[in-house]
Amino acid sequence: MARTAIEAVGLNKWFGDGEVKTHAVKDVSFEAYLGEILYVVGPSGSGKTTMLSMISGILRPNSGTVKIEGSEIWSLTNDALADFRLHKIGFVFQDFHLFPRLTTAENVAIPLILQKRAWDEALKEAEVDLEVVGLKDRAQLPPVKLSGGEQQRVAIARAIVSRPDILILDEPTASLDGDSGRNIVKFVREHILSDQRCIVIVTHDSRIYEFADRIVKMEDGKMMGIERENLNAQ
Amino acid sequence: MGGILHIAYKLLVNDRAKYAALLLGITFAVFLMIEMTSLFAGILTRSSATVINIGASIWVMDPAIQTVANTIPLPDYVLDEVRSIPGVKYAVPLYSGAALLKLPDGVYQSANIIGLDDTSLFGRPTLENGNIEDIFAENAFIAVKDSEFYKLENPKVGAEFELNDHRGVIVGIAHVASSGLFGVPTLYTTYNRALQYIPSTRFTISYLLVEPKTLADVALIKQQVKAAGYLALTKDEFIQKISSFYKYQTGVGTNMLIMTVISFIIGLSISGQTFYTFVIENLEKFGALKAIGAKGRELIVMILFQAAFVSLTGYGIGVGLCALIIWTARLYLPDYAAIITFSNLVLAFLMVIVIAAISSYVGVRKVLRIEPFDIFRG
């Protein structure tokens, strides 16, 4: 049986007070396992990103708990939370957020540098992961010289360079054309997923659903249940 | 922390347009601040040139004196009175006044005439050419080879001129520590010859130069001179008094201060605005760093490092540029009075630190406020 990577219980998050109070996430509970790709789907404003932020240690819930591999993260101090994210979670942002003034290799090396690794050593490891995503020959180029798909791969290399157990991809296909989007997610499925890693993807792009192990749907801040399960296991 | 600073450095210098704008702003501000304060320092130093060059420990004068150039003659009995004060090792008279020289080619040239005590020649300049005893020869004067020397038509030993229909002869060429402020050449002669050549008032002593037996006697000498109705100042106090006059009782100090403040504001405006834009353009990236796991203090260190790096680089270039301009100006304008002093450098450095602090403060506030959640929300 797969080990539990993320265990969210009774998550609630609201913004504002009184008449302007918005209940973004309502009593959400779910689990995600190592070795699977879990999709969180739903329309815009359904609370996907808020929920994603709470399980990744970025946004503190108003109530509920999040356990990552058995440890409750919201009892940690801010510094400890930052360390937790640095070592346990890899992020691939929708707009990639690569530094245009750094080379591709330097962008990938950032998490290692934040872990206080030596500059040269971090760059060497970054080049290894650039090779994994097929961009070793682009290591010295600035990201602006790369295509959207290549930038996405650089963002993925940056997310996995510190060997995190949990990878979070926020709308990975939103900035790419149809084929590139599919290829990226296919690449993640084939090369990035492992038995020791859980990948959570927030998307509303139905063209990539085929690469999910499970898909959970959110609507109006609530988790509406599992839409599809063990797609690839069948 | 070294890796983070390396990232901060690359983010800064690889954004060449902004880096250049930041450097330009700081350099320009430093250049202006140092240029203004150096000019002021030069003016203040030159305003006390006679005090510096003569080098007496204590100067006795009329209490109404404001600058060394505006002398109020002292009666001869004051010399005797001062010499009788216990603690005075010796006291000698000094003449300081202006004269109009007629040069060999018929040109009239104003000059500052210093008359040294005939017996001691106390305060004499260092000779480059000639013999100091020759100052006792008939019509003898010593010319000071400073930035105004050429106005005497670059005389050599033996050159002649006229002063109030008296014949004057240059018997020596000397150098002194500081050139005068008013753009006129200086001639040294004996006290009595100065009185003989230049029309004088009833009283003739411009200053009394006093040497105390010990430093402990200075206070007593000052007290006794005050009791006699005159003023005794140490060399540093006299320089300070002259400086204060130019700072506070002429427009020079105020204008220099205003220019220095304007330079500071210009530097702050350019650098602050550019640094703010730099941080704003990278704000989402800083937010992404936070999401990845960078701590707030690490981002602060990055921004402070960037601000400090660009400020110190701009400071160095600004100081170098100012030194180059002053050096070049002196090649073509011997009267150019600017002096870069340690105080000027420290003042400009402190102002650059303030510019860096204010610029980075705005950036730090922005970066600390950005939430990683905002990055997810787009």
Element (H, E) at A123: helix A119-132
B259 within domain boundaries? yes
* Between A191 and A36, residue with greater pLDDT: A36
Q: Say if residue B90 is in the same domain as residue B152.
A: yes
pLDDT in tens, B72-124: 999 999 999 999 999 999 999 999 999 999 999 899 999 999 999 999 999 99
pLDDT in tens, B303-361: 999 999 999 999 999 999 999 999 999 888 777 878 899 988 998 899 889 888 888 88
Q: Say if residue B224 is in the same domain as residue B260.
A: no
pLDDT value at position A1?
Answer: 60
Question: ipTM higher than 0.95?
Answer: no
Mean pLDDT of B48-55: 89
Which of B175, B196, B229 terminates a domain? The answer is B229
Between B2-13 and A119-132, two packed helices, what is the crossing angle to 10 degrees?
A: 70
Beta carbons of B375 and A116 less than 8 Å apart: no
Indicate the residue of B10, B11, B376 with minimum beta-carbon distance to A170: B376
Calculate how close chain B gets to A114, using CA atoms only, in Å.
Answer: 6
B236 within domain boundaries? no
Instruction: Tell whether the model's pLDDT for residue B375 goes beyond 80.
Output: no
Q: In sequence order, what are the residues at sequence separation of 6 or more whose Cβ sits closer than 8 angstroms to the Cβ of residue A204?
A: A41, A42, A43, A44, A171
Beta carbons of A93 and B291 less than 8 Å apart: yes
B325 within domain boundaries? yes
Indicate the residue of A49, A86, A102 with minimum beta-carbon distance to B293: A86
pLDDT value at position A229?
Answer: 60
Instruction: Tell whether the model's pLDDT for residue B187 goes beyond 90.
Output: yes
Q: Say if residue B270 is in the same domain as residue B148.
A: no
B42 within domain boundaries? yes
Q: Say if residue B281 is in the same domain as residue B221.
A: no
Calculate how close chain A gets to B257, using CA atoms only, in Å.
Answer: 40
Q: Say if residue B81 is in the same domain as residue B214.
A: yes
C-alpha to C-alpha distance for B303 and B308, rounded to whole angstroms: 8
Mean pLDDT across chain B = 90
Q: Say if residue B257 is in the same domain as residue B129.
A: no
pLDDT band at residue A228 under the 50/70/90 scheme? low
Q: In chain B, how many domains are there? A: 2
Mean pLDDT of B152-167: 91
Residue of A nearest to B12 (CA): A101
Cα A71–Cα A72–Cα A75 angle in degrees, nearest 5? 135
Q: Say if residue B106 is in the same domain as residue B223.
A: yes
pLDDT band at residue A233 under the 50/70/90 scheme? very low
Q: Say if residue B297 is in the same domain as residue B369.
A: yes
Tokens representing A223?
């988790």
pLDDT value at position B58?
Answer: 96
Mean pLDDT of B183-203: 91
pLDDT band at residue B199 under the 50/70/90 scheme? confident
pLDDT band at residue A177 under the 50/70/90 scheme? confident
pLDDT value at position A230?
Answer: 55
Q: Say if residue B91 is in the same domain as residue B124.
A: yes
Q: Which domain holds residue B115?
A: 75-229
Q: Say if residue B9 is in the same domain as residue B131.
A: no
Is B326:B29 a contact under the CB 8 Å cutoff? no
pLDDT value at position A234?
Answer: 37
B129 within domain boundaries? yes
B25 at interface of A, judged by CB pairs closer than 8 A: no
